[in-house]
Copies of this chain bind each other. A is one copy, B any other.
């Protein structure tokens, strides 16, 4: 049985649904590769078109601009990650065990799940680390938020926040702690690889150490006094 996970995306993110055609799927696939390779700043629709073997105008029929495409990719990632979390924490009763699983899923490298789709999750994970926050660190964040572009991210935070509250119902900052561990799972990874003196993991560059750090951070915070 070949299971195909379909993620329902916000329609305001695209002009034509990229999942509805080969060209659209190619846009997603090659944009992940190209952004990964060149970074978001020097990524252009022209280069993407050349990569795919189509024309610039062709890309513009799917996405209004590269910012929308980045928001699409990040939204897709957060939705996918929330599914992964629900799947891998299903039937776990102990919220602390659950939370540990979540932290591992957030901070561990993603193994590419080839049959899932035309999106390489492992590359996308790297994109989220380096470019993810650019999706919301803009002047249009308010507009974009009104259009619900960040719903998948907020949903994920809410899921994590709920587990935190299950661990300790008296803890006062479940949402902020949730967004902190999500952001730090990525930032500490970026720092470890690029500005290692900002972390304690510079020697080994092992993501297991990031996981240990986050576990320590979270579980001492949630310890009932």
Contact = CB atoms under 8 A, between A and B. Distances in A.
Nearest to A187: B183
A20 interface: no
B213 A198 contact: no
B187 A179 contact: yes
Contacts of A190: 137
Interface in A113-163: 130-131, 133-134, 136-139, 141-142, 145, 150, 153-154, 157-158
B216 A173 contact: yes
A131 B137 CA distance: 7
A210 B173 CA distance: 10
- Name the interface size band of chain A: 35 or more
Copies in the complex: 2
Given A137-B130, A150-B195, A195-B150, A179 B188 contact: yes
B176 A136 contact: no
A173 B197 contact: no
Nearest to A154: B197
A94 interface: no
Contacts of A188: 176, 179-180
Interface of A: 38-39, 41-42, 130-131, 133-134, 136-139, 141-142, 145, 150, 153-154, 157-158, 172-180, 183-184, 187-188, 190-191, 194-195, 197-201, 210, 213, 216-217, 220-221, 223
23 contacts: A41-B138, A130-B137, A131-B137, A133-B137, A134-B134, A134-B137, A136-B194, A136-B195, A137-B190, A145-B195, A154-B195, A154-B197, A154-B198, A158-B197, A172-B213, A173-B217, A175-B198, A175-B199, A175-B200, A176-B199, A176-B201, A178-B198, A183-B184
